[in-house]
Amino acid sequence: MIDLHTHTTFSDGELIPSELIRRAEALGYTTIGITDHADYTNIEHILSCVSKIKYFEEVSDIRVLVGAELTHVPPARIGPLAALARKLGAEIVIAHGETPVEPVRPGTNRAAIEAGVDILAHPGFITEQEAELARENNVCLEITSRSGHNITNGHVVRMAKLAGAKMVVDTDSHSPDDLISSQRAIEIAMGAGLTLQEATAIVKEHAIIRRG
């Protein structure tokens, strides 16, 4: 399983990084991204602290990517913050998309895509034009296993397929029970409207890992 959207106690997750990674490793994860919620107030702290977990790669077979999820940042400030995150060493930058279960500012999806983030998380009712821009900017659209956010997975898949945009399956894990197996990820993708072949390709040939 490759899962690049997870949270720890450095934002609103339940586990410290080492425990999250060990639990993921025990479930057969090969790669995990630590992407705690960040804005201008905590980006330096999160990346400085979480980057220390890279030592896990020296004592384990799991690959750990350190990053951040830019969350509820005003659209006009997403681009500069994404650039700052990369300057501070983020290996992956996720943007908290316009999920319908939170009051995300309109324009967030487009601003994040224009900023060239790696993944637009739970993008809600993303438009076909935004999905086309995601394809052009090589931004992956997330199919999420997280309850609530996942109610628009089917719409996200339809828009991504119409536009030819890349998709990824992530958990947005906040607790131990949120972690899933590759088989479950495939089932989630199929539940969103992909065929078994399409779902398997997305899960097994993760777009971010391929390009990274």
Residues of the chain with pLDDT under 70: 207-212
**C-alpha 65: how far from its chain's center?**
11
Find out whether 141 and 156 touch, Cβ atoms under 8 Å.
yes
What residues does each domain of the chain span?
Answer: 2-211
Gyration radius (Cα) of the chain, Å: 16
CATH architecture of 2-211: Alpha-Beta Barrel (3.20)
At residue 205, the pLDDT reads 80
At residue 70, the pLDDT reads 98
Residue with tokens 């999920």: 99
Round the average pLDDT of the chain to a whole number and report it: 96
Selection from 1, 6, 22 nearest residue 171 by Cα: 6
At residue 58, the pLDDT reads 94
At residue 211, the pLDDT reads 52
Instruction: Give ∠ CA 141-170-53 in degrees, rounded to 5.
Output: 120
At residue 36, the pLDDT reads 98
Find out whether 12 and 174 touch, Cβ atoms under 8 Å.
yes
At residue 206, the pLDDT reads 75
Residues whose CB is less than 8 angstroms from the CB of residue 12 and which lie 6 or more positions away in sequence, other chains included: 37, 174
